[in-house]
Structure formats: C-alpha cells, structure tokens
A = this chain, B = another copy of it.
Amino acid sequence: MKKVPYERLVRLTEGILTKGFGYNASEAAVTAEVLAEADARGIPSHGVARLAFYRNNLNGGFAKPGAEPEVVRRTPCSLVVDGRGGVGCYVADWSVSQTVELAETTGTAFCAVRNSNHYGIAGWWAERIARHDMIGLAFTNTDPAGVPTHGRRRLLGTNPIAVAIPEADGRIFLLDMATTTVAHGKIELYDRRQKTMPSGWVVDEHGREASDATAFEKLFHSMAFGGHLYLGGEGEECGGHKGFGLALMVELLCSGLSMGLSSMKVYQPGGEGGITHFFGAMKLDLFGPAAELKRHIGEILGDVRRSEKIEGRDRIYIHGEKEAEARERSMREGVELDQATVDFLSALSREFQVNEEGLL
C-alpha cells in the first residue's frame, strides 16, 4: 500500500494519457479526474488500474482520442448524442454538461448516448448533476457480464444504476450500483485469495451456481457461457428476476433509446466499442423550494440513520456516505493504492517517460 497525494495522482494519470495514449488535454483531464476519484472514494476496481482496460480499448481501435461527440437529435428536454467512438469520460462529460444546461432552462432533461466508451464510475456523473440541485441519473451498458434468469449465455453488462438526490448540508444520497450481485473485481480478488464464492454471485457455462473463483475466471475469459448473476441471485426464489429486470431496464434506456449497440454487441473485433449511456437531470425546484425539499429529504434520511442497529453494528450507512468519507480521508492523507497498482503506474510512467517529477 502507498498513499499518493490526489493532485499528483491526477497529474501522473494525465501524463500517461497524453504522452502514452494520445489523449488530448481535455480528454486526459476529465479521464484522470474520474479515475483518481474512484480510487479516492475507495472504489479501486474503477480507479487508475483501469488504464490497462483503457489501453486495450485504444489498441483495439474502440476508443478514438480526438473524436468529437455530436448531438444527432435535440428537443427542449432531450438530446441524443453520437459519441463517435470517442473517449468515454470525455463523451460523458460533454453530454452531462449539455444535459444540465438544458435542464436549467426546461426543468428536466434526458440524454441518450450511443457509440461511446467506458465512462468510469456511474456515480460520478449522477453526482455532478446533483451538485446543481437536481436529481441526477446515470446509467450505462458495458460488455456482457451477466446471464438472464433461466439463461446461460452472458448477454447484458453489469449495467449500473446511479441515482443522486441532494440532501441538506450539501450531502448527496448517491446510489451507485452494478445490477449484478457483485462487481467483477470482487471475483478477481476471491481468485487471487483462493476463497470460495458465496451462492448468488455467478453461474457456470450450464447455468449452474458456481463457487470456485479460479475456475470461473478461466471460463469467463474463454467462453460466452456462464457469468454473473444479477441482484437476487439464481432463479426467482430470492428475486434474481428482479435484478435481471433492472439490468434490462438500464439496457433499454441506454442502447434502446440511443439506437445504439446492446451489451451483447459491443467491443466486437473490428467493430465499434459502442458503449451506450443514459443521463437524466430533474431540478429539485420543480417540486418546491429546493432548500425546503433538501431539509425534508435530510429528515427522512436522519430517521434512517438514527434507527436501531443490529448487534455488532453501530451505524446504518446512507448510500454515498462511505465513499464521501473515504474521499475526505484521501484528500487529507493521500489516495491509497495497492502495490500492484503502484507498480503498474510506475511501469507506464517509465514506458511513456512521464515520471520526470518523481510523482510516485
């Protein structure tokens, strides 16, 4: 473990993206910020370690630095954006800015984006919208990760849902969840540590529950069958069909409304990256004076926070609190990176001669 000052981590990542990946300054700035933010918030699965994935996308011809997104359809409350294969975080940043601008005028606005790429943590975008005293939505599809209820082929992505709702005192309720039971990074961890996975996480190529993380990892990277289960697990007994339904909803809002590629068709060799997003912004003051609403929302959440805990727990977390507190700690003490990530960044720095300033 190593703690790196946030600003340094951002600058180093920017350097790698510009010097090594050919990103322009705007693309590098927003991408570095989103990746470093994930690490700062304690979500390393979406942090700077993702540079490996971004590099693969670059080499596969999926992410095209310099490509400028384009609005292909516009109404006073909606946009359809063609990302033209550009850098995901840049396309998202561009789209979210325009969505917020529209919503400032109209009260509410939605934006469906096709032909984009991975945009980092969904919650970042939802939260950015919420900072404008709006309810923020950010959904995205991803490469295929999960199997449908009663199916065995990976079809839909981890298809995360992010919803941000402003609360009193500048706080934000931030639900940012993959619709699969767990993120893939968790399975990689179980593989490395040779731990047995609990029921409800994944199934094998026959659609049967699997618990061996190493065997699953092998399968996941070699065939199209077997995959993550959605929230609620296998079958319908504990609601797996609901989690799958949420993933399908995300898919239809993203690839459906943008007329883009569905999860099952993204990142095909020779094809487009083709990731699709959906953003929403809704001004709080549509429903009343924003300050009053935020106070009321704060009271509801306060009742939840104060509620009786089970033995051994002294806190009920509201969504986003853990990450906000991790972020504060990171800003104060530096962003914690594991040794593998530090080594990986160092190697990239050497390769692209970025590390002149001795950032790491």
Give the interface of A toward B (CB within 8 A).
Answer: 73, 75-78, 80, 106-108, 110, 112, 135, 148-153, 155-156, 163, 165, 173, 175, 177, 181-182, 198-201, 206-208, 225, 231-233, 237-239, 241-243, 245-246, 248-249, 251-253, 255-259, 262, 264, 282, 284, 286-288, 292-293, 296-297, 300-301, 303-304, 307-311, 313, 315-319
Contacts and interface: CB of A to CB of B under 8 A. Distances in A.
B163 A251 contact: no
Contacts of A149: 316-317
Nearest to A225: B308
Contacts of A292: 259
Best-buried of A75, A108, A199 by chain B (most CB within 10 Å): A108
The 10 closest A-B pairs by CB, nearest first: A207-B310, A78-B286, A150-B313, A175-B245, A177-B242, A257-B287, A200-B238, A256-B297, A245-B319, A262-B300
Contacts of A208: 310
Given A151-B316, A175-B249, A206-B310, 10 more contacts: A73-B287, A77-B106, A80-B288, A108-B108, A152-B308, A182-B239, A208-B310, A225-B308, A232-B243, A256-B296
A252 B148 CA distance: 29
Contacts of A200: 233, 238
A117 B175 CA distance: 27
A258 B231 contact: no
A225 B257 CA distance: 43
A257 to B, nearest CB: 4
Contact of A76 (B107, B135, B153, B163): B107
**Oligomer copy total:** 2
A67 B316 CA distance: 39
A153 B304 CA distance: 9
B248 A173 contact: yes
Contacts of A231: 231-232, 239, 242-243
A80 B201 contact: no
A294 B286 CA distance: 30
A269 B248 CA distance: 41
B248 A175 contact: yes
Contacts of A225: 308
A61 B256 CA distance: 45
Contact of A288 (B73, B150, B165, B233): B73
A1 to B, nearest CB: 22
Contacts of A78: 107-108, 286-287
A307 B153 contact: yes
A129 to B, nearest CB: 15
A153 B308 contact: yes
B150 A315 contact: yes
Contacts of A155: 303-304, 307
Given A152-B309, A315-B150, A296 B248 contact: no
